[in-house]
Structure 1
Amino acid sequence: MSPSTRTFRLVTAERARPRRRESTPEPEVINLTMQSDQLLLTVPEAAHRLGIGRSFMYQLIAAGEIETIRIGRLRKIAPRAVEAFVERRNPSAETTVADQTDLDRSPATQ
C-alpha cells in the first residue's frame, strides 16, 4: 500500500474569510412627478412642496393642521389645503404692517 499524502494550505486569519465589501445603504428614493394641474397630492408630494419630511407631514395631518381626503387606504391632500396651511402659519405682510401701525399709535408709546 502506498502511503496517502494530503496537501494542506496554511491560511492566515485575514485570508481565512474573504472580506465582504461594506455596502452603504441606499437612501430611500421617492419618485415625485409634479404637475400643476394635479387635483390631489400624495403625502410625500405635499411634504416636498412644503420642504418638510414625510414623517413630519403625517404629524401635521394627525394634529389636524392639514386637511386630507381619504380614498380607500390612500390619504390625499388638495393643493389648496397646503396653501391654506401656509397662509395660517404665515400671516400676510399687510396684517403685520397694520399691527405695527396700531402699536405705534398706542398710548403706552406716547
Structure 2
Amino acid sequence: MRDDELLTIPEVMARLKIGRSTVYDLVRTRRLASVTIGRARRVPAHALVDYIHAHLEEAV
C-alpha cells in the first residue's frame, strides 16, 4: 500500500473487515480521515495506517 494511495470505502471495509456503516461512522466521527472528490468518498492510505496505529495504542 502506497502512502499517497486513495482507498474506496469498500477497500477500507475489506482491509479492516468491518461493515459499510462502521466505516462511515468512523469517517463521520473523524476518527478516520477522508476526502470527498465529486460525489466519491476516499480514504488516504496513510489515514488508515494512522487509525490502525492509534487503535492499537488504545488497546495497550
Following the alignment from structure 1 to structure 2, what is the Cα–Cα distance between the partners of residues 79 and 46?
9
Q: State the match for 1:81 in structure 2.
A: 47
What TM-score comes out, normalization by structure 2 length? 0.83
Long gaps (5+) in structure 1: 1-35, 97-110
- Report the structure number with the largest CA radius of gyration: 1
**How many angstroms does 1:44 deviate by?**
1.1
Instruction: Look up the equivalent residue of 2:55 and give its one-letter code.
Output: R
The structure showing larger relative contact order (alpha-carbon pairs under 8 Å, at least 6 residues apart) is: 2
Higher helix share: 2
Which of structure 1's runs of 4+ aligned residues deviate more than 4 A?
none
SS at match of 2:12: helix
Aligned residues: 57
Q: How big is the alpha-carbon RMSD for the aligned residues of Structure 1 and Structure 2?
A: 1.5
Identity over aligned pairs, percent: 32
SS at match of 2:10: helix
